[in-house]
Amino acid sequence: DHRDLHSFPTRRSSDLATNAQRRAQTRGCLINAARHLFAEQGYADTSTETILSGAGVTRGAMYHHFRNKAELFEAVCDLLSQEAMAAIEKAVDGQRGSLATLKAGSLAWVDFMARDNVRRILVVEAPSVLGQQRWRALDERYSFPLLREGIREAMAEGALHFAGSAEGLAELLNGAMNALVLNDPRGENLPQRRQDLLALFDRFC
CA dist 51 and 46 (Å) reads: 7
Answer whether 124's CB lies under 8 Å from 182's CB: yes
Could you give the CA distance from residue 154 to residue 156 in angstroms, rounded to a whole number? 5
pLDDT computed for residue 14 by the predictor: 59
Cα four-point dihedral sign 35, 40, 45, 50: negative
Are 144 and 169 contacting, i.e. CB atoms less than 8 angstroms apart? no
> Residue 196 is inside which H or E element, if any?
helix 190-202
Please give the pLDDT value at position 12. 64
pLDDT in tens, the chain (205 residues): 444 544 445 556 556 558 788 889 999 999 999 999 999 999 999 999 999 999 999 999 999 999 999 999 999 999 999 999 999 999 999 999 999 999 999 999 999 998 888 999 999 999 999 999 999 999 999 999 999 999 999 999 999 999 999 999 999 999 999 998 888 766 678 888 889 999 999 999 8
Element (H, E) at 35: helix 13-41
